[in-house]
Amino acid sequence: MADGVLAVLGAGTMGAGLAALALGRGVDVVLVETDPEVAGAVGKKVRQDARLGRLLGGYRPREVGEARLTVTGDIAKAAAATAVIECVTETAEAKHAALSAISELVKPGTLLITNTSAIPVDELASFCDRPQDLVGAHFMNPPYLIRAVEVVRGPRTSDDAMDQARALLAELDREGIEVGDGPGFVINRVLQRMINEAARIVEDGVASPEAVDALFTGCLGHRTGPLATGDLIGLDNVVQTLEVLAERTGDAGYEPCDLLTAMVREGRLGRKSGRGFHDYDQEQVKAA
């Protein structure tokens, strides 16, 4: 990746966070975002988040020259990328469009990473010109603070692509934990179901969101409870991921509960909208 350029497709929460991490580590980034409103605002956010990551010790700084950030709506500007991370909306359709477009543009053998939360890597590999170049890397939010990454090798992923993925993670100062393919991989196969069930408990009036989360933090020592975790991920993303899991596993336990879908309809998306299961208006100054 030395002298390389990382292309990040999609400037949502994860795309912007990954661009911040790369920038902070001195890697040039081309951030592709087709929504002009999002693209217009994201440059400032990426630069601020890169500083936040450094301030909080989320990555080890490198004394290299300042990296360059290019925000563009034109995917063709990513043609010279030495690695690509796809972070578009969590639907097979959106990922199909992004992966097929980028794999036609970049040089064969260029590492393609999908940051999908739950869609099997092999399903997405079918959208690429060269399925062997695709690796799954499920970064956590915010990626510039959380070092561990769930790395997913699809059945068609090549050794070379895996080696490139390991090198990229080293470049970004992240630690990959490699697992096999399947809906939701490891984390979301367990976590999304837990969030859904926790929301259902609130929906049924069995416990308040505060009580649910307090049990997981207080009794089990989790750093955050399942509903606060859902708020952090974004409840719209939780619902999309649950739908992906329900569709691909046929397991009704993954079907998003009514409370979750109603909250998303009302725009109560969690931290990013200021309110989800918990309120975040004063979040930045309150005790963590």
Partner 1 sequence: MTETTQNSVGTGSSTHQELLAFLDAKTGRTLDASSDLFASGISSLFALQLVVHLEEKYGVTVGGADLKMDNFRTVDAMVALIGRLRGATG
Positive or negative, the Cα torsion across 201, 202, 204, 205?
Answer: positive
In angstroms, what is the minimal distance from the CB of 144 to partner 1? 12
Show the DSSP H helices in the chain as ranges: 13-24, 36-55, 92-105, 121-125, 159-171, 187-203, 209-218, 226-233, 235-249, 258-265
Phi, psi dihedral angles at 179 (to 5 degrees)? -135, 175
**In one letter, which amino acid is 77?**
K
Residue 36 vs 57, nearer CB to partner 1: 57
DSSP letter at 140 equals P
The first and second tokens of residue 4, run together, are 């390389």
CB-neighbour burial class of residue 78 (10 A; exposed 0-12, middle 13-18, buried 19+) = buried
Place of tokens 């809906």: 183
Residue 48 vs 203, nearer CB to partner 1: 48
In angstroms, what is the minimal distance from the CB of 286 to partner 1? 6
Residue 126 vs 217, nearer CB to partner 1: 217
Residue 39 vs 145, nearer CB to partner 1: 145
Residue 46 vs 125, nearer CB to partner 1: 46
In angstroms, what is the minimal distance from the CB of 40 to partner 1? 19
Residue 73 vs 218, nearer CB to partner 1: 218
Cα atoms in the 13 Å half-sphere on the side-chain side of 227: 25
The CA–CA distances, whole Å, from 254 to 30, 62, 116, 232, 257 equal: 35, 42, 17, 19, 8
In angstroms, what is the minimal distance from the CB of 210 to partner 1? 18
In angstroms, what is the minimal distance from the CB of 53 to partner 1? 9
In angstroms, what is the minimal distance from the CB of 188 to partner 1? 25
Beta bridge partners, 5, equal: 28
In angstroms, what is the minimal distance from the CB of 55 to partner 1? 5
> What residues have CB less than 8 Å from 15, skipping those under 6 apart?
8, 9, 31, 33, 85, 87, 88, 115
In angstroms, what is the minimal distance from the CB of 135 to partner 1? 31
> What residues have CB less than 8 Å from 145, skipping those under 6 apart?
53, 56, 58
Residues that bind partner 1 (CB under 8 A): 48, 51-52, 54-57, 61, 283-288
Residue 45 vs 200, nearer CB to partner 1: 45
Residue 52 vs 259, nearer CB to partner 1: 52
